[in-house]
Amino acid sequence: MVCPPTPAEAGAPEVPHRRRNGRARVSGRDDAEAGGSGTGPGAAELGGALGERATLVQFSSAFCAPCRATRRVLDEVAAMVPGVAHIEIDAEARLDLVRALGILKTPTVLVLDAHGREVRRAAGQPRRADVIAALGAAV
């Protein structure tokens, strides 16, 4: 019995394997990446008041266990840091906003500065230390 060659043996370029282990993936965005307008979603679009210094916006879905843990972490951080607000958005109910902001999975957390501009984004369940560090870029 002859086995077919593996892609590497056949001369195909190797594709790096990305391991997804449930950790938060964080990315920063500048004004050009965020659409060039320099402003993010407003309080009316988000359904809550923005924080004086920063806002943590969480996109969740109803049956998402990491979303519940993320809610607890963000609530704790918002309570610890003065001037920081936490807004949770049901992704299923706000598909228009999900599409406009390019949200691909839940939970996704956006860190907005005092003017509502997105300065950081994380997909997956964040650690408290990571959220606090991301707030450092916003305040």
Condensed to tens digits (0 to 9), the pLDDT of residues 77-129 reads 999 999 999 999 999 999 999 999 999 999 999 999 998 999 999 999 999 99
Give the pLDDT of residue 37: 42
Give the pLDDT of residue 30: 43
Q: How many CA atoms lie within 13 A of 109 on its CB side?
A: 32
Question: Residue 47 — pLDDT band, cuts 50, 70, 90?
Answer: confident
Q: Is the separation of the CB atoms in 37 and 86 below 8 Å?
A: no
In angstroms, the Cα distances linking 71 to 62, 66, 83, 107, 115 are: 12, 9, 18, 9, 23
DSSP secondary structure letter of residue 67: H
Indicate whether this model's pTM tops 0.75: no
84 bridge partner residues: 54
Cα 65 from chain centroid (whole Å): 16
SS3 for 8? coil
Give the pLDDT of residue 137: 81
